[in-house]
Amino acid sequence: MPVAPPPPTNFVASPSSAAPPVPVPQSDDSSVVQRPLTEAETGLLKRSAKNGAPGMLRFFGAFVGIMPLFLIGMAVMGTPFVPENYIAIILVTGFLGAVLAGVSQGMRTPLVRATKAGTAYEVYGVPEIQAAPGNQSLVGLGGLTFRMKAVQAARLLPDRMNRVTFVDGGVTAGVRRRLGSNVAFVIESNGAVATRVESCYLVGSVEVDGTTVLGAKMAWGR
C-alpha cells in the first residue's frame, strides 16, 4: 500500500482548550496488521529503555539510594554526625532513591514488555482527530482510538490515508488508567522512522468476551 508523503510543516492540531470530545472518534474503513519487529525497531526499544529519561532516573535513583549506605558506613567507622541531621538525611535520600527508581521502572517496564513481545502493529486509515483536555487529542485510526499529544496528532495527514506503526506496552496501571487501557509506543508514521519512541495510549482496547478490541481487528501480516 503506498505511503503518503510527510505532512506540511504548517499543519497544526486542534487547540487543546476545546470542550471534551463526544463521541470518541472511531474509524472503521481500514485495518490493523500484525508483524514481527525488525532488528532496528527492537534496538530502538532497547535503547529507549536504557537511555533517555528512564536511564537518567535509574542512575540518579541508584546514586541517591546508595548515599544512606555510605552515611551508615561512615557512622560505623566513627565519623561524628549531628543526630537530627543524620536521621533526616538518611530518611530523605532513601525516600528519594526509592521514588526515582520506581518512576524509572514504571517507564521502562512497558518498553521491556513490548520488546519481549516482538510484535509491531501497522495501522492504516484516514484519521479522525478531536481535541481532548491537557493538550491531547483523541485519534480514531484503523478502527482503534489513540490518545496522543496534540503535537503527535498534528503529524498525521488529514483526509488522507495514513500508516502508523506502534508496539503495545501492555495494560496501564494506577492513575494512567484514566488515559487509556494500554500503553502504546509509536515507532513509525507515514514512512518516517522514529529516532526515539513516543508514548500514547490505546483507548477502549479492553477485553470483550475473552477477545481484546485490538485482537478482534487484527490481521496477520508478513
- How much is the CA Rg of the chain, to the nearest whole Å? 22
Task: Tell if the pTM clears 0.75, that is, is over it.
Answer: no
Domain-ending residue, one of 110, 129, 164: 110
Q: Is the pLDDT of residue 12 over 70?
A: no
Among 152, 165, 195, CA closest to 48: 195
Structural domain includes residue 149: yes
Please give the residue range of the domain that contains residue 59. Answer: 44-110
For residue 20, is it within any domain? no
The residue out of 70, 86, 110 marking a domain boundary is 110
Tell me what pLDDT residue 10 has: 35
Q: Where are the alpha helices (DSSP H) in 77-210?
A: 83-117, 150-153
Q: How far is CA 194 from the centre of its chain?
A: 13
Whether residue 60 sits in one domain with residue 140: no
The residue from 87, 110, 133 where one domain ends is 110
Tens-place pLDDT, residues 118-166 = 999 999 999 999 988 888 999 999 889 999 999 999 989 988 999 999 9
Does any domain span residue 9?
A: no
Evaluate whether residue 150 is within a structural domain: yes
Residue 123 in contact with residue 7, Cβ under 8 Å? Answer: no
Shared domain check, 211 and 176: yes
Residue 188 lies in a domain: yes
Chain mean pLDDT for the chain: 75
* Number of compact structural domains in the chain: 2
Of 35-39, 49-53, 163-167, 189-193, the poorest mean pLDDT is in 49-53
Do 150 and 86 fall into the same domain?
no
Q: Which residue has the higher pLDDT, 65 or 212?
A: 65
Q: Do 143 and 198 sit in the same domain of this protein?
A: yes
